[in-house]
Chain A
């Protein structure tokens, strides 16, 4: 978060956090403490149960998705034989959380924001899932360590450049980051599904977003960049370098591009990325035939 603020400041020619701790390094801690001490307001008409459940349903999957990320050779919580599928499925629960949060708030902005968020989420879920099929074809396995092993000589980004691009863009959309953060577009929907949230309940949404960003970037590093594979340095360091490179790319895009309109966004998902992901699938099949 701190790094994001630094990067945004550099891009916008500002200074960024400087005063909290040496060079502003404690800014994140200060932010969290501040958020912990904020009042938690719940609208009277809101559905209490759903209002509480919404942020939980976005935060918990974000934590759970880290279970199958291989941080380095032995550093993986569980090397599931369907690890790739697990990673696509678990964060999917987030869509329910967003919808629930928006609906429970009993506020027009929240309601529309929640609807749009979940519509966008499921629209981009399809090209994303289809692109990962290409990786599964080349690796011949859904186990994370097998996917890494298959990339020992050539990372998949060289074999499936199109797939990599589609994956990165759809991931941006999936975790509601600019230029795909239309559900939170300030100018039309205030803050979208979390308009009525304050204090730490609101912070849970943000923590979930950052958790999802890191998990999805790590996943991309594993699927396309060969994760911990690399010369000299230990696997963990390689994994971290690749993941952070993708995270940086995300932030760079966020602070550089303007926001899309909602209709453009849906059109992009269905009319551009869906066909592209099918093309990627066919390409992956051809690559596999060529290799064999």
Chain B
């Protein structure tokens, strides 16, 4: 009898392998079938034929970073809610009220971010 956890890992490894092999095999087939014609101009970045002036590793808007930070916060909170959701049947109304208090505390931070303009995009 194989360990169920090992079994699980094997199965998902297989699923990953199916996806990866499918993609790689299709790429290989395409590689065999597709024509190749080397041309230095083909390697240029797409810019309607104009040569790009600057490096394209541009500095980007700090907003993206803020969104990522907020995502980590809220998504963690959402993940913490799953065990609570499963236990809700046994903890009943008290559990619900406790979660409402938690959400309220969370909303304080949310409105702070809102007021600070983190959620605004120009």
Contacts and interface: CB of A to CB of B under 8 A. Distances in A.
A43 B43 CA distance: 4
Nearest to B93: A289
B86 A141 contact: yes
Given A64-B16, A278-B103, A126 B75 contact: yes
Contacts of A274: 74, 110
A195 interface: yes
B12 to A, nearest CB: 7
A64 B19 contact: yes
Interface string A215-232: 000000000000000000
B56 A111 contact: yes
A142 interface: yes
Interface string B61-80: 00010011011001100110
Contacts of A190: 46
A43 B29 contact: no
A36 B82 contact: no
Q: Which applies to chain B's interface (DSSP): helix, strand, loop or mixed? A: helix
A199 to B, nearest CB: 6
Contact of B18 (A35, A63, A199): A63
Interface residues of B, number: 61
A101 B113 CA distance: 30
Instruction: Describe A's contact surface by its main secondary structure.
Output: helix
A267 B121 CA distance: 8
Given A123-B67, A137-B85, A262-B121, A36 B33 contact: yes
Contacts of A39: 34-37
Contacts of A263: 120-122
Interface residues of A, number: 69
A117 B14 CA distance: 29
Interface in A23-53: 35-45
Interface string B32-69: 01111100101111110000100011101000100110
Interface in B88-107: 88-89, 92-93, 96, 99-100, 103, 107
Interface in A129-175: 129-130, 133-134, 136-137, 140-142
A55 B22 CA distance: 12
A107 interface: yes
Contact of B12 (A38, A67, A281): A67
Interface of A: 35-45, 55-56, 59-64, 67, 77-78, 80, 85, 105-109, 111-112, 115, 119, 122-123, 125-126, 129-130, 133-134, 136-137, 140-142, 190, 195-196, 199-201, 203-204, 262-263, 266-267, 270-271, 274, 278, 281-282, 285-286, 288-289, 292
Given A115-B60, A126-B74, A289-B96, 8 more contacts: A39-B34, A63-B22, A64-B16, A67-B11, A112-B60, A200-B29, A204-B26, A204-B27
Interface of B: 8, 11-12, 15-16, 18-20, 22-24, 26-27, 29-31, 33-37, 40, 42-47, 52, 56-58, 60, 64, 67-68, 70-71, 74-75, 78-79, 81-82, 85-86, 88-89, 92-93, 96, 99-100, 103, 107, 110, 114, 119-122
